[in-house]
Amino acid sequence: MKELVKNQNRRRFLRGGGALAGAALASTASAAGALAGQAQPLEVAPWSKTPGEPALWHPYGQPSPFEDKVVRRSRGAAPFPGANSSMTPLQDLFGIITPTGLVFERHHAGIPLIDPAQHRLAVHGLVARPTLFSMDELVRLPSVSRIHFLECSGNTGREWKGPGTASLQFSHGLLSCCEWTGVPLSVLLEEVGVDPQAAWILAEGADAAGMTRSIPMAKALDDALLVYAQNGERLRPEHGYPLRLFLPGFEGNMSVKWLRRLKVGREPFMSREETSKYTDSLPDGTARQFTFLMETKSVITFPAPDHRLREPGFYQIAGLAWTGRGRIRRVDVSVDGGRNWQEARLQEPVLDRALTRFTLPWRWDGAPAVLQSRAIDETGYVQPSGRQLVHARGLESNYHFNAIQSWKVGADGIISNVQV
């Protein structure tokens, strides 16, 4: 804050570059008449003249009707019933917490509406005490809360083939960050007694797809959670109500929703979602499998193709950075397509495997510009360029695209998706 204030002293934002036109009031207002009799009087708005809607107008609150364009959006029709996704409108959001109503969706057989009183979690396989847990029993166990991002490994996948859609929501919107509350999976495994031979756990959802993934035991004992709350309240139906697995930093598909079964075994279970899907084809005909970790990535969320700059002048470039490896250490921003880089300010707190908001003040001179951000995590990993990523992986992948994103600002203020 001090740094920001000091920065202010060097120049003003609204008139410093003739950018914005905050309307000046003609004279200092009188104490009594407030702003009456001025060049531009402050009119009393209609909503200030009569009492408004009562408290509990909505016992569960809703956004303003003026914000009804800020919603999740889908690319189009589902290939078969219930298999679809919807994207978070990152271009309209602030800070690091994603409002739960706007957290992205990815379903393989639609959203089951589960009665929590009837729901059970079965734990079996290589355990001493196979057990069915009710939700009441799970919620009584010791719990923790953590703020973590969740990203689909297919996020930004269309960029593998060249510049994708001119929309941040559609290019990067399979990404959200919430406060998750639940029982450490390690606590549950202690309850049932895991066989020393056990090395993998099959997690199965109660949706009609019976979504299944294999989870390494090391992750299960480290920081995996059985989550029942998100941003303070119980999970929403589309996010796994009443129970989901949550694996911090791993691809979203593994955080199995509507969790109904955990089977402990010696080997991975080779389910559909880790053999025919969610693997990364390589140029030599082989594929990377079990690529769990979401690598370091960032994107500029303002300005983005979903916005248009109406005039030259001051703008605050803002964006998000994240890494499955831990904390973000630094984000650099370029406004000239990567020739020069400036270090962005990171908004505190910078949390382990959470979205990190970065900002950089920018005065746009009205000429074309190419905006990029490049994240560096605490392990020293540097977000690659598209060229570096393709050099390493080829062009056959659909998942795990984490390259630097370029937004081109045209002289007309229109912003497009480019690769430079």
Q: Which of residues 81-110 bind a second copy (CB under 8 A)?
A: 81-82, 84-86, 92-103, 105-107, 109-110
Tokens (6 digits) for 23: 């309307």
Tokens (6 digits) for 336: 């000239």
Pair 92, 159: CB distance under 8 Å: no
From candidates 200, 241, 246, 399, binder to a second copy by CB under 8 A: 241
Residue 290 has what DSSP assignment?
-
User: Strand, helix or coil at 105?
Assistant: strand
Tokens (6 digits) for 343: 């270090």
Strand-pair category, 105-107 with 120-125: unpaired
User: Strand, helix or coil at 212?
Assistant: strand
From candidates 163, 337, 361, 394, binder to a second copy by CB under 8 A: 361
Helix (H) or strand (E) holding 393: helix 386-393
> Peptide bond preceding 89: is omega within 30 degrees of 0, i.e. cis?
no
| x/- track of binding to a second copy for residues 9-48 (CB under 8 A) | x--xxxx---xxxxxxxxxxx----xx--x-x-x--x-xx
Residues 310-349 that bind a second copy (CB under 8 A): 314-316, 318, 347, 349
Q: Which stretch binds a second copy (CB under 8 A): 119-127, 277-285, 383-391, 393-401?
A: 119-127
Smallest separation, CB 236 to a second copy (Å)? 5
Residues 197-216 that bind a second copy (CB under 8 A): 206-208, 210
Residues 171-200 that bind a second copy (CB under 8 A): 178-181, 184, 186-187, 190-191
Q: Which is nearer to a second copy, 316 or 340 (CB)?
A: 316
Q: Which is nearer to a second copy, 175 or 403 (CB)?
A: 175
Q: Which is nearer to a second copy, 28 or 276 (CB)?
A: 28
Q: Which is nearer to a second copy, 282 or 309 (CB)?
A: 309
How far is 65 from 262, CA to CA, in rounded Å?
A: 43
Smallest separation, CB 164 to a second copy (Å)? 20
Residue 350 has what DSSP assignment?
-
The total number of residues shown for the chain amounts to 420
From candidates 33, 63, 162, 283, binder to a second copy by CB under 8 A: 63
Q: For residue 125, report the phi and psi dihedrals to the nearest 5 degrees.
A: 90, -135
From candidates 66, 285, 380, 392, binder to a second copy by CB under 8 A: 66
Helix (H) or strand (E) holding 205: strand 200-205
Q: Which is nearer to a second copy, 373 or 397 (CB)?
A: 373
Short-list 252, 343, 333, 270, CA closest to 299: 333
From candidates 232, 366, 368, 410, binder to a second copy by CB under 8 A: 232
Q: Which is nearer to a second copy, 134 or 281 (CB)?
A: 134
Residues 371-410 that bind a second copy (CB under 8 A): none
How far is 279 from 276, CA to CA, in rounded Å?
A: 7
How far is 296 from 337, CA to CA, in rounded Å?
A: 20
From candidates 244, 260, 353, 393, binder to a second copy by CB under 8 A: 260
Q: Which is nearer to a second copy, 110 or 326 (CB)?
A: 110
Smallest separation, CB 162 to a second copy (Å)? 26
How far is 131 from 121, CA to CA, in rounded Å?
A: 8
Residues 130-159 that bind a second copy (CB under 8 A): 130-134, 137, 140-145, 147
How far is 328 from 379, CA to CA, in rounded Å?
A: 9
Provide the Cα torsion 307, 356, 405, 78; round to 10°: -70
Residues 283-312 that bind a second copy (CB under 8 A): none
Smallest separation, CB 58 to a second copy (Å)? 7
From candidates 223, 251, 274, 306, binder to a second copy by CB under 8 A: 223
Pair 175, 154: CB distance under 8 Å: no
Smallest separation, CB 391 to a second copy (Å)? 35
Give the bridge partners for 265, in sequence order.
200
Total binding residues toward a second copy, as defined by CB under 8 A: 146
Smallest separation, CB 232 to a second copy (Å)? 5
